[in-house]
Amino acid sequence: MYTVRQVLQEKGTEVYSVSPQATVYEALQLMAEKNIGAVVVLEHGRVVGIFSERDYARKVVLQGKASRTTTVGEVMTRDVLYAKPDDSIEDCMSLMTAKRHRHLPVMEGDRLIGLVSIGDVVKAIISDREFTIRELERYITGGHSSVG
């Protein structure tokens, strides 16, 4: 079973963040520069929200707010869902699908250690399934399996 920890080992643990006082424009600049769809919102080292492209579209653009004067704290998603390092990728997929969230901060205790996106989860599930298929093919054809 593929875990969140394995995903973070492959993709890295760097998390981009902003404070609630940052402007939406500043957050969007960071997201564009890093080619990411969301940033974690930290205050005094604590996760207080997440700001995503969806938040921008629905809470800034559609409400006629200005990105240069609106703070991230005004429009961020406050109800943050989390993953733990030992959670399975399947559990993450279920949670993300059920709650319609595309990003999950990864918490170990009260410490932020990474962020997984729906793309990371899909990639991991596909990789895990491909591995299983290769092993089954080896078994069927009489090859030696690396599964012990």
- What pLDDT shows up at residue 143? 63
Tally of domains within the chain: 1
For CA atoms 22, 23, 25, 27, the dihedral sign is positive
Q: Which residue has the higher pLDDT, 121 or 142?
A: 121
Q: Is residue 132 part of a domain?
A: yes
Contact 30, 16 (CB under 8 A): yes
**Which string of DSSP letters, residue by residue, matches 86-124?**
TSBHHHHHHHHHHHT-SEEEEEETTEEEEEEEHHHHHHH
Which CATH number does the domain housing residue 85 bear?
Answer: 3.10.580.10
Tell me which residue range forms the domain holding 90: 4-140
Per DSSP, which regions of the chain are E strands?
17-18, 38-43, 46-52, 103-108, 111-117
| pTM recorded for the entire structure | 0.83
- The pLDDT value recorded for residue 50 is 97
